[in-house]
Amino acid sequence: MNFEQFIEKIEGVRLQTDLLHCSVNQTPQQHQQLLMQAVEQLSVSLEELHVAEEELLQQNEQLVEYQQEIEKEHQRYQQLFDFAPDGYIVTDIHGKILEANQAALQLFAIDKVRLIGKILIVFVPQEARREFRQKLSQLCQQGEFKDWEICLQNHQKILFDCQISTTTINDKGNCIGIRWLLRDISAHKQAEAKIRCVELQNCQLQEAAQLKSQIVTVLSHELRTPLNAILGFSDIVLRLNKNQFTSQSVKMVETIIRNGKQLLKLINNMLDFAKLEEGKFSLSLQYFNIKELIKLVADDLRFFANQKNINLDVNINIQNVKVINDPIRIQQLLINLISNAIKFTETGSVLIELQELNDDKIIIIVKDTGIGISEVDFKYIFQAFQQVNQTKSRCYQGTGLGLAIVKDLLNLMGGTITVESQLGEGSTFRVELPREVKSLKNENFSPSG
């Protein structure tokens, strides 16, 4: 029952009462009869009124409940508004601030009492105000703006980058206000600027690295030519004059040759490394017998192991000995690993193992009982020019390029290298290689069967 129905009911009761009043002037019989009728109707109406009253009471209770719920919702939204991480403000169509949440107060570094009533444009730096005014005038027609980036200033005139999104508040088709979402993107902008700076530095570093590689390449080439001549001619001089030379002169020429060879090895390593780093290195792929190659390298190096009274053993445990790879580069890799094992071992042995991991992969293990490497140094030993455990390594020859070359070569071949070691207990280098290295575009591949 609504309010009008309730009024109607009351009107009905009033009519009945009026009737009762009139009936007082009637004849006694009629009066009695009418009085009875009226009383009956009156009690019916009263009953109805009572029911109506109860209904109204119920509706009233419901209304109070609804009102409480609406109040709770309102509070919830107010809290969401107040504590949202981004700044929210509500303005009229001229940009006069009517409401603002906590984040907006923080953004503008001002308290609520002073912010409400201000026009938003006071937080726009002078030079951007023209653009701001234009946007504001377009806002009511366009309905909304998204992710508009502009520089704002807080109450203390400190600038910050802000991303603004807006929606209009409409009443009967007319724009009567604007809701603004303000996101401080200064940190984001700074991070972007830093990334750009790092990218630029990276570019410069890459250029510098490339230049360095080029210098190394040119220098190495230039050094190699005269060095080869020195070595060649020293060898000839020694062979032709061995009988005429005193033993001291022979020793001197032998020293020239030995040191020259050492220098040549270093230059070759530097040249290889520069090429690998520049990505200009290519493999010459072919079928070959890996078992034979390992044995050959071991036989070549056994002399140096024997000089130090170290055993050099080879353990081949593989069915299919054919692989596709660059034998010269595999030989280089083996020489690096095995000569390290011999160099860094004083007593005990060096063991080279060849195994099959599966149909597609083979494993080469070089194990020694030498000085070992501490776990913290594992990540350094594969970097160029890194010789760990310096105090001890100083007494061993080398430049720290060997393992860096091995790692780059394996990268090119699609293989991996890992190391297990304990100081004083020896080291185990484990190389995993694809049985068939896939040919890259600038590699020569000549299957020789």
Ligand X SMILES: Nc1ncnc2c1ncn2[C@@H]1O[C@H](COP(=O)(O)OP(=O)(O)O)[C@@H](O)[C@H]1O
In this chain, which stretch among 87-95, 185-193, 279-287, 335-343 interacts with Mg ion, using CB under 5 A? 335-343
Which of residues 153 and 336 has its CB atom nearest to ligand X in the complex? 336
In this chain, which stretch among 189-197, 278-286, 360-368, 395-403 interacts with Mg ion, using CB under 5 A? 395-403
Query: CA nearest 268: which of 318, 208, 227?
Result: 227
Q: In sequence order, which residues have a C-beta less than 8 Å from that of residue 284 and are 6 or more positions away?
A: 326, 328, 443, 444, 445, 446
**The two structure tokens encoding residue 178:** 């604007």
CB of 424 to ligand X, least distance (A): 10
* Contacts to ligand X from residues 363-422, by CB under 6 A: 368, 370-373, 381, 386-389, 393, 398-404
CB of 229 to ligand X, least distance (A): 26
What is the spatial distance between Cα 406 and Cα 431, in angstroms, rounded to a whole number? 10
Residue 362 and residue 322 in contact, taking contact as beta carbons nearer than 8 Å = no
Binding to Mg ion by residue 402, rule CB under 5 A?
A: yes
CB of 146 to ligand X, least distance (A): 56
* Contacts to ligand X from residues 315-374, by CB under 6 A: 336, 340-341, 344, 368, 370-373
CB of 343 to ligand X, least distance (A): 6
Q: Which element (helix H / strand E) includes 315?
A: strand 311-317
What is the spatial distance between Cα 94 and Cα 415, in angstroms, rounded to a whole number? 68
Size of the site for Mg ion (CB under 5 A): 3
Q: Which residue is nearest to ligand X (CB)?
A: 398
Residue 323 and residue 404 in contact, taking contact as beta carbons nearer than 8 Å = no
**The two structure tokens encoding residue 294:** 């390992």
**The two structure tokens encoding residue 124:** 């726009």
Instruction: Give bridge partners of residue 311 from the DSSP assignment.
Output: 349
What is the spatial distance between Cα 179 and Cα 170, in angstroms, rounded to a whole number? 11
Contacted by 351, from ligand X, Mg ion, none: CB < 5 to 8 Å by type: none
CB of 356 to ligand X, least distance (A): 24
Which of residues 184 and 408 has its CB atom nearest to ligand X in the complex? 408
Which of residues 225 and 309 has its CB atom nearest to ligand X in the complex? 309
CB of 352 to Mg ion, least distance (A): 16
Which of residues 234 and 345 has its CB atom nearest to Mg ion in the complex? 345
Contacted by 381, from ligand X, Mg ion, none: CB < 5 to 8 Å by type: ligand X
Helices then strands (H, E): number in the chain?
12, 13
What is the spatial distance between Cα 168 and Cα 244, in angstroms, rounded to a whole number? 106
CA angle 38, 39, 44 (to 5 degrees): 95
CB of 205 to ligand X, least distance (A): 23
Residues present in the chain in total: 449
Size of the site for ligand X (CB under 6 A): 23
Residue type, 415: G
Which of residues 326 and 368 has its CB atom nearest to ligand X in the complex? 368
What is the spatial distance between Cα 67 and Cα 13, in angstroms, rounded to a whole number? 33
In this chain, which stretch among 59-67, 94-102, 186-194, 336-344 interacts with Mg ion, using CB under 5 A? 336-344
Which of residues 100 and 406 has its CB atom nearest to Mg ion in the complex? 406
Which of residues 103 and 406 has its CB atom nearest to ligand X in the complex? 406
- When binding is defined by CB under 5 A, the residue of 340, 345, 369, 427 that contacts Mg ion is 340
**Pairing between strand 311-317 and 444-445?**
unpaired
**The two structure tokens encoding residue 217:** 């390449």
Q: List interacting residues with ligand X (CB under 6 A).
A: 336, 340-341, 344, 368, 370-373, 381, 386-389, 393, 398-404, 427
Q: List interacting residues with Mg ion (CB under 5 A).
A: 340, 398, 402
